[in-house]
Amino acid sequence: MDDSGHRENGRHNPLQRPWHMQHQPSIGQIMAAMAERDAALQERNLAFSEKKAALAERDLAILQRNSAILERNSAVMARDKAISTLQHRKNAMTLGVKHEHQPHHYRPHTDETPYDSSDIHISGPLKMSPVPSETKKQTKEAKAATHNKKPSKISKRVKREKEEGDEMGLNQVAFHRTTMPVPVCSCTGILRSCYKWGNGGWQSSCCTTAVSMYPLPAVPHKRHARVGGRKMSGSAFNKLLSRLAAEGHDLSSPVDLKNNWAKHGTNRYITIK
């Protein structure tokens, strides 16, 4: 019991500081927390932009796939139509040959009743009407169907490519790994080597139709995968080399493909700084 007559419970009650004297965060700590928050927001926004770019690439790939499927279906239809026309002509020609070479056997008229040639009276000259040939009709119909058939898109494209190749003539230049360096792309301001793609084609390592940066952003939900860059087929690259050689360009130095990529809707890109 203390001097005032109160019992002590054995616990020590420290002195409580007033609220304005308690520890409060400093301005530096507040600024550091705000900086961390801003960095987290920027990282989130960057992730959103990468996601949007990946979705745009996916939509473009789906569109290219659908167009390729349509071209394939049209080519298959044109092929089937041509096969049916050729089969029809073949059947018509076979039928005509059979009609021409088939011997006609006439059975003699055997009648038990005898007759006399004097009983046959001919009133006038006999008129022989020509019998129309079924084979000739079928052949004409097959030829008309062949002439009326419209050329397919595939045949037009092949013809156009053949004409372009004929125009280039013997001056066409092909890529040789031993004598020519790998093509580059300078969309980021620095020459970046391109990747091999397809049969003699090339793919950019630093730009797509929507973004220009090195390295390209990673694809979400895919480990060790990045967004595919702009592409150029092998035939287009050989045509570009032939044109540059005709213009006097030195092919011993790397070819810059910045302005020569395939234009899938647009050839513009956005630079991320």
- The answer to whether the beta carbons of residues 219 and 225 sit under 8 Å apart is yes
The whole-number average pLDDT for the span 92-98 is 75
> For the segment 21-51, what is each residue's pLDDT rounded down to a tens digit?
556 778 888 999 999 999 999 999 999 999 9
* Burial tier of 194 (Cβ tally within 10 Å: 0-12, 13-18, 19+): buried
Residues 6 or more apart whose Cβ sits within 8 Å of residue 136: 96
- Cα separation, 9 vs 267, in Å, equals 84
Question: Which pLDDT value is given to residue 273?
Answer: 42
Confidence label for 13 from pLDDT (cuts 50, 70 and 90) = low
CA distances in angstroms from 55 to 8, 61, 126, listed in the order given: 73, 10, 86
Closest CA to 195 of 218, 220, 228, 223: 228
Look at residue 185 and give its three-state secondary structure: strand
Higher pLDDT, 214 or 95: 214
Strand partners, 192: 185
pTM here is: 0.38
If you search the block for the tokens 């280039």, which residue do you land on?
A: 168
Residues 6 or more apart whose Cβ sits within 8 Å of residue 115: none
Q: Where are the domains of the chain?
A: 31-93, 170-273
- Cα separation, 269 vs 213, in Å, equals 10
- Cα separation, 97 vs 241, in Å, equals 55
Single-letter residue type at 173: V
Which backbone phi and psi does 152 adopt, to 5 degrees? Answer: -80, 170
The tokens describing 72, both together, are 């394939």
What is the total residue count of the chain? Answer: 273
> For the segment 114-153, what is each residue's pLDDT rounded down to a tens digit?
545 454 444 444 445 555 555 556 666 666 655 555 555 6
pLDDT, mean over the chain = 75
- Cα separation, 154 vs 131, in Å, equals 43
Which backbone phi and psi does 218 adopt, to 5 degrees? Answer: -75, 150
DSSP character for 193? E
Look at residue 167 and give its three-state secondary structure: helix
Confidence label for 159 from pLDDT (cuts 50, 70 and 90) = low
- For CA atoms 9, 14, 19, 24, the dihedral sign is negative
Confidence label for 18 from pLDDT (cuts 50, 70 and 90) = low
> For the segment 182-224, what is each residue's pLDDT rounded down to a tens digit?
999 999 999 999 999 888 899 999 988 888 888 888 888 888 7
- Cα separation, 265 vs 68, in Å, equals 16
